[in-house]
């Protein structure tokens, strides 16, 4: 058992979100997804990040049930896919996600993407699900400052989180500053650069200096900046490795070295052009 369960951040919904979560994008549905969730819960994770579009909500639910960890101790996130946006469609999509998960509430429901012309109506539906306590917290993903300003201008409830791609190579400083100012917790997705910079010499050097792996250094950097991290792996050894990030710290020099790596590296989709 690691101490991965001990670090949480407060959300303005009143909930506490574990700072480490298992990501399951591109984790194949079926036994692979179930085993990844089981293994993560076994080594101390208490947070799983799925989405309708990942196609593995049913396995996430089965993994949680099979783990023996009580439901209320696991923080479960799923997300509304783009073709389900709009007020009524959102409500129906949420019901379908709950059914696949085999749960009667989720801890966090996110708008996966700021779909133009629909995102405000969809947010209205999330607010209803929040007020009904079927989504204990609600938030957004891939929202940059213009999307957030528009949302805050119309919303009854401020999003609890904004899940964005975030690494030393893509720091989105204006978005993170805006979110902190409004009490919106940042969830860093693809925190391991989707595997794209794991051989970077500076990371290797820092990892060597602190006696950790590059993956652990990347995750620790984000955690020290106050973010939630969502590393994905299907391999038990890496799932465990990625959880060993709360028993060391990066000193000021190491943090500054990583802070200097900004290069605008987007490994997935880029919401910058999304009006």
Ligand X SMILES: NC(=O)c1ccc[n+]([C@@H]2O[C@H](COP(=O)([O-])OP(=O)(O)OC[C@H]3O[C@@H](n4cnc5c(N)ncnc54)[C@H](OP(=O)(O)O)[C@@H]3O)[C@@H](O)[C@H]2O)c1
Give residues in contact with ligand X (CB under 6 A).
23-26, 49, 112, 141-142, 163, 189-195, 198, 215, 230-235, 238, 241-242, 268
Question: Using the 8-state DSSP alphabet, how is residue 144 labeled?
Answer: -
CB of 222 to ligand X, least distance (A): 11
Q: Which residues contact 158 (CB under 8 A, 6 or more apart)?
A: 12, 152, 182, 183, 184
The smaller minimum CB distance to ligand X, of residues 68 and 248, is found at 248
The DSSP annotation for 32-45 comes to: HHHHHHHHHHHTT-
Rounded least distance, CB 249 to ligand X, Å = 19
List of E strands, the chain: 8-10, 16-18, 22-23, 47-49, 75-80, 108-111, 138-141, 161-165, 185-189, 228-229
Residue number closest to ligand X, CB atom: 23
Catalytic residues: 54
Instruction: Find the shortest distance in angstroms from Cβ 234 to ligand X.
Output: 4
Q: What's the distance, Cα to Cα, between the start and end of the chain in Å?
A: 45
- DSSP assignment of 101-143 equals HT-S-BSEEEESS--TTTHHHHHHHHHHHHHTTSBSSEEEES-
Q: Which one-letter DSSP state was computed for residue 20?
A: B
CA distance 17 to 76: 10
Q: Which is nearer to ligand X, 51 or 98 (CB)?
A: 51
Measured from the CB atom, is 25 or 105 closer to ligand X? 25
Least Å distance, CB 30 to ligand X, is 15
The two tokens of residue 116 are 């133009």
């Amino acid at each position: 058992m690691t101490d991965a369960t001990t670090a949480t951040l407060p959300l303005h919904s009143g909930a506490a979100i574990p700072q480490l979560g298992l990501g399951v994008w591109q984790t194949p549905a079926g036994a692979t997804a179930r085993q990844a969730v089981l293994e993560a819960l076994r080594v101390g994770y208490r947070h799983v990040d799925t989405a309708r579009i990942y196609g593995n909500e049913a396995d996430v639910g089965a993994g949680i049930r099979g783990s023996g960890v009580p439901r209320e101790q696991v923080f479960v996130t799923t997300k509304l896919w783009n073709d389900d946006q709009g007020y009524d469609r959102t409500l129906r999509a949420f019901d379908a996600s709950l059914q696949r998960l085999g749960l009667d509430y989720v801890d966090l429901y996110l708008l996966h993407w700021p779909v133009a012309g629909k995102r405000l109506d969809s947010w209205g539906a999330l607010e209803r699900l929040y007020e009904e306590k079927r989504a204990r917290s609600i938030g957004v993903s891939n929202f940059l400052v213009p999307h957030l300003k528009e949302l805050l201008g119309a919303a009854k409830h401020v999003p609890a989180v904004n899940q964005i791609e975030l690494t030393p190579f893509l720091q989105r400083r204006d978005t993170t500053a805006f979110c902190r100012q409004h009490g919106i917790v940042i969830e860093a997705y693809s925190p391991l650069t989707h595997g794209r910079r794991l051989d970077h010499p500076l990371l290797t050097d820092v990892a060597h200096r602190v006696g950790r792996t590059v993956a652990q250094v990347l995750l620790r950097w984000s955690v020290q900046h106050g973010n939630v991290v969502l590393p994905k792996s299907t391999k038990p050894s890496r799932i465990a490795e990625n959880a060993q990030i709360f028993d060391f710290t990066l000193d000021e020099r190491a943090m500054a070295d990583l802070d200097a790596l900004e290069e605008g590296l987007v490994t997935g989709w880029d919401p910058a052009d999304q009006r």
